[in-house]
Amino acid sequence: MLGFFKSSFDSKPPPDRRVYAIDDIHGQRDRLAAMHDAILRDAEHAPETQRVVIYVGDFVDRGPDSPGVIDLLLDEPLPGFTRIFLKGNHEDYMLRFLEGDIEAGAGWHANGGDATLASYGVEVEGMWPDLTVLV
């Protein structure tokens, strides 16, 4: 069964490339900043000349500072790094809701969207139905 999951290609980056991955930031700007600091310290002594950081989605929701996370990612890139951003399910819920898919709102709320809205100053009290009560 495990043979099914084995890859037929070499998943290592080329020898001159160093790759970092950060996932599930969830509105935690301070933790993202700490990760950036750790990556910069590590890369300082790395022999590789090409440096890549991959952000594996879920930038928003749950944490208190989704705007700070987005601003940090956009306005303060790691110097000398190629950046790759992947959309996570949290961004998918948020974007679908903001583009008018009202039904996506319940999924977004269930996954912490209320924290993102609150971090942007949107009053969320009573915005969503109480899904814990059976009608």
Which residues are designated catalytic? 90
77 backbone dihedrals φ, ψ, rounded to 5° = -65, 155
69 half-sphere exposure, CB direction, 13 A CA radius: 27
Buried b (16+ CB within 10 A) or exposed e, 44-69: eeeeeeebbbebebbbbbbbebbebb
- Number of other CB atoms surrounding residue 128 within 10 Å: 14
DSSP state of 78: P
Decide if 53 contacts 73 (C-beta within 8 A).
no
- C-alpha 65/C-alpha 69 separation (Å) is 6
